[in-house]
Amino acid sequence: MDAVSSKYSHKDTGWRLFLKTIIARAYPRLIGQQREVSWMVFEVVMPMLAVIAYVFVYRAMNAPEEYIGFVVMGGAMTAFWMNVLWSMSSQLYWEKEQGNLALYIIAPNSMMAILLGMALGGMLATCLRAVAVTLLGIWMFGVSFSVTSYLQLFLVFVLAMIALYGMGMMMASAFLLFGREAWHVANLAQEPIFLASGFYFPIKSLPFWVAAGASVIPLTLGMDAMRQLLFPTGFQFGFMSVVWEIGILAVLSVVFLFTAKVLLAHVERLAVREGRITESRR
């Protein structure tokens, strides 16, 4: 009897609880993707239509051939932005509407682990969409890549993802504090980010201060650096050197993760102390 009670009375804490929370929240989304295969089809086909449209526009304008590769890569990277925008930034607001947020607040696990698990759970569809768009772009338009440094490419991608998902966790708290406006803010942010971050063109084409301001979004510098590393003449279209962009992405990763932790802690204190989530005092 003592053996049974000791087995079930064990309680995980620290990093073990953090990892188990991530796995627990990722599992339902992984299973959901398998049950709704049609979602994967739409998430691949619809973004590819936008990529094809931009390719035809650039070819009609006799733009440099590198722009075709820029468009294909931008279409692939939109999957990660959409995953952050809808699977992280708006997630706490949706959970509040469904009545689950109170359970997350009183649970002993980390809110950051919950959000990260939700995002990683949707990563299957995200990676599938990114790979499918890239392969279709290579097959349909003859896009070729020439990697100049695999180490720098790996660093850029990893740091961009860390900073991006840190930004997503930070925005989740901010959107939740906005209350009913969260849905509208998420919709409003979608298209301007596509423009300012240069998903379908080099951000060097934008005015300097506009491009510098857009660099706060991790995907802006991430895509700019990857284009320089993936295409032989990509450095000609780069906003700044790859080394500088890696350094800035590292700084953004730390800043966004720290800010996300502070904001999530503020949301939890607000819920426990005052029995409310939003800043409004209705």
pLDDT digits (tens, 9 = 90+) for 72-94: 888 888 888 877 776 677 777 77
In a domain, residue 133? The reply is yes
In a domain, residue 279? The reply is no
| pLDDT for residue 1 | 47
**Span 2-19, average pLDDT:** 64
In a domain, residue 183? The reply is yes
| pLDDT for residue 162 | 87
- Nearest Cα residue to 122 out of 79, 174, 185, 173: 79
CA 189 to chain centre: 13
In a domain, residue 74? The reply is yes
For residue 180, name the pLDDT band (cuts at 50, 70, 90).
Answer: low
For residue 250, name the pLDDT band (cuts at 50, 70, 90).
Answer: very high
In a domain, residue 4? The reply is no
| pLDDT for residue 249 | 93
Domain region containing 171: 14-274
In a domain, residue 208? The reply is yes
The torsion region of residue 275 among left (phi > 0), alpha (psi -120 to 50) and beta comes to left
For residue 255, name the pLDDT band (cuts at 50, 70, 90).
Answer: very high
| pLDDT for residue 248 | 93
Q: Is the pLDDT of residue 242 over 80?
A: yes
In a domain, residue 282? The reply is no
Read off the pTM.
0.81
For residue 244, name the pLDDT band (cuts at 50, 70, 90).
Answer: very high
> pLDDT tens for residues 191-205?
788 888 888 888 888
In a domain, residue 7? The reply is no
**Span 242-251, average pLDDT:** 92
Annotate 201-239 with b (16+ C-beta within 10 A) or e (fewer).
bbbeebeeeebeebbbbbbbbbbbbbbbbbbeebeebbb
**Span 140-159, average pLDDT:** 87
For the chain, the domain total comes to: 1
> pLDDT tens for residues 17-61?
888 888 888 787 777 666 666 666 666 777 788 888 888 888 888
